Amino acid sequence: MPLTLEDRTVIADLIASHGHLVDAGELDRMRELFTDDVTYDITDLGAAPIAGLAALREAALTLGDANPVAHHVTNIVITEASGGGARATSKGIGIHADGTCASVTYQDSLVRTPHGWRITYRTVLARRTPLTSA
């Protein structure tokens, strides 16, 4: 089934909500964004993929003060995926307590659930180098 304008709006809101929930410490609401069996792949950041909501919550708590104080998501591009799912690519900017910031790219796989769209797989890719010619 093709993605409707409503699907695209809901997916964009879901992705944007991630920063609001994390920054507010509302980690128990992550099931509004992710499936229970989500894989949060942070291999590119030097850590093993995180499997499941409980592990994702625990990882955020373990990071403690090293967590960014603000997460900003922008440049959301949504495409249809096979089987009625969707894919989204977005940019993330994390602001740290010392004022430094970092940029990542989020690559999400989303599925429709009885509770609405949810991210089932997220890959986080660090942005380490500026534009270079192809």
What pLDDT, in 10s, does the model give residues 36-74?
999 999 999 999 999 999 999 999 999 888 889 999 999
Structurally, the chain folds into a number of domains equal to 1
Dihedral angle of Cα 67, 88, 51, 60, to the nearest 10 degrees: 10
pLDDT of res. 134:
65
pTM given for the model: 0.92
pLDDT of res. 133:
67
Amino acid sitting at position 31 = R
Residue 33's φ and ψ, nearest 5 degrees, are -115, -35
102-116 per-residue burial string, b: 16 or more CB within 10 A, e: under 16: eebebebbbeeeeee
Q: Does residue 27 belong to any structural domain of this protein?
A: yes
Q: Does residue 74 belong to any structural domain of this protein?
A: yes
Q: Does residue 60 belong to any structural domain of this protein?
A: yes
Q: Does residue 59 belong to any structural domain of this protein?
A: yes
- Which CATH number covers residue 70? 3.10.450.50
Find the domain containing 38 and state its range.
5-126
Kindly list the distances between the CA atom of residue 77 and the CA atoms of 9, 43, 52, 64, 119, in Å, as whole numbers in the listed order.
Answer: 11, 22, 25, 30, 14
Q: Does residue 134 belong to any structural domain of this protein?
A: no
The CA distance from 15 to 90, in Å, is: 8
Q: Which residues are paired to 73 by β-bridges? A: 92
Return the residue matching tokens 């949060």: 40
